[in-house]
Amino acid sequence: MASAAEKGVVPGNGIVDKPSNHSVEQTVERFKALLQAKAVTLFTLIDHSGEAERVGMKMRPTKLLIFGNPKAGTPLMLASPSIAIDLPLKVLIWEDARGKVWVSYNSPSYLQERHGLPPELLQNIAVVEGLAAKAAE
């Protein structure tokens, strides 16, 4: 069985980091196209590095996409209202100091455990794994 580190999960915080084969901008565009193809709503895109630049600071390219589907999210919130803190789902696409691009997100199993979600609802948030992997490939 693969360790947490081998799966891309940082122990203790539930964040999965997937390496991307593309620039931040290309990865963002790929992710947006995947959301559109699956009829998933992109609620907003926050350009952290752009906002830093706007106030005279430098930051490597860093963008946060916030997305979801009420048909998937509502049953989760009905089962465990605290999951609303982590919904809509989020994906962080960022560049590290070496120029490597990453796609980071909360592990669905971590969110399931954190909020006590029933196993049958895990699939409602597990979509993030496939989207992240496809955008990064």
Name the residue with tokens 């969110």: 111
Residues 38-84 pLDDT 10s: 999 999 999 999 999 999 999 999 999 999 999 999 999 999 999 99
Per cent of the chain over pLDDT 90 is 89
* Number of other CB atoms surrounding residue 87 within 10 Å: 19
* Six token digits for residue 11: 């122990």
Tell me the three state secondary structure of residue 52: helix
User: Is the pLDDT reported for residue 31 higher than 90?
Assistant: yes
Q: What is the pLDDT of residue 8?
A: 55
Tell me the three state secondary structure of residue 9: strand
User: Is the pLDDT reported for residue 125 higher than 70?
Assistant: yes
What's this model's pTM, rounded to 2 decimal places? 0.87
Task: Compute the mean pLDDT over every residue in the chain, rounded to the nearest whole number.
Answer: 91
> What value does the mean pLDDT take over residues 87-101?
96
Q: What is the pLDDT of residue 12?
A: 73
Give exposure, 48-81, as e/b (b: 16+ Cβ within 10 Å): ebeeeeeeeeeeebbbbbebbbeebbebbeeebe
User: Is the pLDDT reported for residue 2 higher than 70?
Assistant: no
Tell me the three state secondary structure of residue 113: helix
Query: Distance of CA 103 to CAs 74, 96, 107, Å?
Result: 25, 11, 12
User: Is the pLDDT reported for residue 102 higher than 80?
Assistant: yes
pLDDT classification of 10: cutoffs 50, 70, 90? low
> What value does the mean pLDDT take over residues 73-99?
96
Name the residue with tokens 């696409």: 93
H or E stretch at 61: none
Q: What is the pLDDT of residue 39?
A: 92
